[in-house]
Amino acid sequence: MGLSAARPGTGPADPSRWSLRTVPADLEQQWTAAGLWDERTLGQLLDEALAGHADREFRIHSQVRPWTGTFGVLRDRALKLAGALAERGVGPGDPVAFQLPNWVEAAVTFYAASFLGATVVPIVHFYGPKEVGYILRRTGVRVLVTAAAFGHTNYLDGLERLDGALDGVDLVVVVGAEHPLPDGLLAFETLEASGQPLAARREVPATAAALIAYTSGTTADPKGVIHTHRTIGAEVRQLGAMRAAGGRQTLTGAPVGHAMGMLGALLIPVLNGDPVHLTDVWDPPQLLALMLEHRLACGSGATYFLTSLLDHPDRTDEHLELMHFIGLGGSTVPLSVAERATDLGLSLVRMYGSTEHPSITGSYHTDPEHQRLATDGRPLAGVEIRLLDDLGLAVPDGEPGEIWSRGPDCCMGYTDPALTAALFDEDGWYRTEDVGVLDASGFLTITDRKKDIIIRGGENISAVEVEELVLSMDGVLEVAVVAAPHPRLGEQVCAFVRLGPTPDPSDRTVDPSNVAVMQRHLEAAGLARQKWPEQVRVIAELPRTPSGKVKKEALRRMLADEQGPPAPRSVPN
């Protein structure tokens, strides 16, 4: 039995907190009649699924925080945490953020916040103080759950570098602290044990904000994408029907703080009643061993997840059988990768979407091979797309155009109303800023991006954000950051710099064209490691349009045309 619905208690939702866009009435009626939208909330869906499949296994494969339990145990823990948060005044509409690796505490926090009708704010665990501070301020987060440390990252040190961003946060909770915490911080296990289990799920409208996912894009700061209970419910049903594993249990390594990992581990398998297997480190030999031990599928998601397994010497034919059904999306899928997978006996499909509109197009394993491998699929249930030229006119089939989309899983706007106004029109169309081509059968192929981002292993990186920090280095006059091809990650960050005099030209430790020097500068600025340039090129003049704008297409083309690695002035990281 799921939790019974109840009237909201403490922490009432502030209806003016977010300026959500309005969906045209005819679309709302159409999606509701088709069953694509309903009035169930995320808390209701998760409560009923966890209770209804209480015996299903939930396992964290980790060297530092392994955990094995069931959906029922997980639900009990989430109820305890929800009760403890409610006693501290947290309730419907309150933003609850977590920045955790793929640990069980991330799932407990996610489900507890959902039971309270709070707005869940996942933060990818590799975001640095700069990004986290912005998210806390922009969202008005009331509760932050974070790790003490993981890998090379000390999150407690990061908290001290947030420059006042914690001033509006009521409660900071820490997972995995090995020593007494500083004043003002609370251990996760202490909080979890402190309250009575939540007796009744908090009821909220399905039109309320359920989730705010932050993603990098054309702006220097992350964009806060607002999904309501309706839109995220539509997405989990839509993507759940596209499962590529052929019914086999799946091992997920994408971070649950990112939309891909959150949907693939915390939502879709739970709602479908499938066991969950998560790992907190993407380590190919360990993953390959786990696949055989537990008979798990693996390799779907960003292209890197697949190629890193295929390229490893431990990979065998038995692994190929386990990973037979593969679904790729979230980053560029080179045709050569798709053809290689097919030659190895895998069945591969491609999908296209974004944090704003998670599932726009996709293919099924029954579709013709050429269209599965060479296109990004057809619009999914309830989704419409149109391709427009620079004048806003429709382009003929076979001609490239900017992609606009709308559908029941499309977000309801951004935490920044100016972005909502810029990227949505009054008829509900979302401007993706991607360029594609439609064939006569309605299959879409992405050919270019207007958005100035780099997609590294499925993660969006804002070129503007990196450029602003590189420009603060002594000796850098101009910089243009672009995507460079990478055989495993799809893309990596490359900085083209025009240099002036450096403080000491003979001292390589201050040379801004040295990759290690630039990376140390960005680390000190609090930028996440994944965003650091892995190539630095010195250029006498940046190519420009007649209006003076840097022609980044020319820089990307220069990188793509090169044969083999360049001869940079510094040693790559």
Three-state secondary structure readout of 240-275: HCCCCCCCCCEEECCCCCCHHHHHHHHHHHHHHCCC
d(C-alpha 104, C-alpha 55), whole Å: 16
Of 537, 568, 454, 489, nearest to 215 by C-alpha is 454
Contact 412, 428 (CB under 8 A): no
What ranges in 16-97 are assigned the alpha helix state H?
25-33, 42-52, 71-87
> Residue 346, CB half-sphere, CA atoms under 13 Å: how many?
34
For the domain made up of 40-236, the CATH class stated in words is alpha beta
Q: Is 72 exposed, middle or buried (0-12, 13-18, 19+ CB in 10 A)?
A: middle
Domain spans, the chain: 40-236, 453-561
How far is it, in rounded angstroms, from Cα 297 to Cα 111?
A: 25
Question: Is residue 361 a contact partner of residue 383, using CB atoms and an 8 Å limit?
Answer: yes
**Percentage helix, strand, coil for the chain under 3-state DSSP, each rounded to 5:** 30, 25, 45
* Residue 372, token pair as written in the block: 């599965």
Cβ(504)–Cβ(323) under 8 Å? no
Q: What is the largest CA-CA distance in the chain?
A: 71
Per-residue DSSP letters for 120-170?
Answer: EEE--TT--HHHHHHHHHHHT-SEEEEESEETTEEHHHHHTTSTTTTTT-S
Q: Which residue's entry shows tokens 């996440």?
A: 528
The single residue listed with the structure tokens 């915490």 is 181
Q: Is 17 left (phi over 0), alpha (psi -120 to 50) or beta?
A: alpha
Residues 431 and 405 sit within 8 Å (Cβ to Cβ): no
Long-range contacts at 333-337 (CB < 8 A, ≥ 24 apart): 333/303, 333/376, 333/490, 334/303, 334/490, 335/373, 335/374, 337/303, 337/306, 337/307
Alpha carbon of residue 415 to chain centroid: 16
Question: How crowded is the C-beta side of 322, counted as CA atoms within 13 Å?
Answer: 24
By three-state DSSP, how is residue 294 classified? helix
Closest CA to 59 of 248, 250, 208, 191: 250
- 422: nearest Cα among 353, 485, 356, 342: 356
Q: Six-digit token pair at 277?
A: 């297997």
The position carrying tokens 């309150």 is 94
* Two structure tokens written together for 112: 């507890």
Residue 29 corresponds to which amino acid? Q
End-to-end alpha carbon distance in the chain: 53
pLDDT tens series, the chain, 573 aa:
344 333 233 333 344 578 899 999 999 999 999 999 999 999 999 999 999 999 999 999 999 999 999 999 999 999 999 999 999 999 999 999 999 999 999 999 999 999 999 999 999 998 999 999 999 999 999 999 999 999 999 999 999 999 789 999 999 999 999 889 999 999 999 999 998 999 999 999 999 999 999 987 666 688 999 999 999 999 999 888 876 555 689 999 999 998 889 999 999 999 999 999 999 999 999 999 999 999 999 999 888 889 899 999 999 999 999 999 999 987 778 788 888 999 999 999 999 999 999 999 999 999 999 999 999 999 999 999 999 998 899 999 889 899 999 999 999 999 999 999 999 999 999 999 998 999 999 999 988 777 778 888 888 888 888 988 998 898 898 899 999 988 888 899 999 998 987 666 666 567 888 999 999 999 999 999 999 999 999 998 888 765 566 888 889 888 888 745 444 434 333
User: Cα(115)–Cα(82) distance, rounded to whole angstroms?
Assistant: 7
Tell me if the domain spanning 453-561 has CATH number 3.40.309.10. Answer: no
Q: 568 is written with which tokens?
A: 């940079």
Nearest to 270 by CA among 224, 245, 226, 237: 237
Q: Are 464 and 470 in contact (CB under 8 A)?
A: no
Sheet with 347-352, side-by-side order of all strands: 325-328, 347-352, 361-362, 378-379
pLDDT the model gives residue 5: 36
- Supply the pLDDT for residue 14: 47
Amino acid symbol at 235: E
What tokens were used for 200?
A: 């009744």
3-class DSSP state for residue 413?
Answer: coil
d(CA 501, CA 508): 13
Q: What's the pLDDT score for residue 97?
A: 98
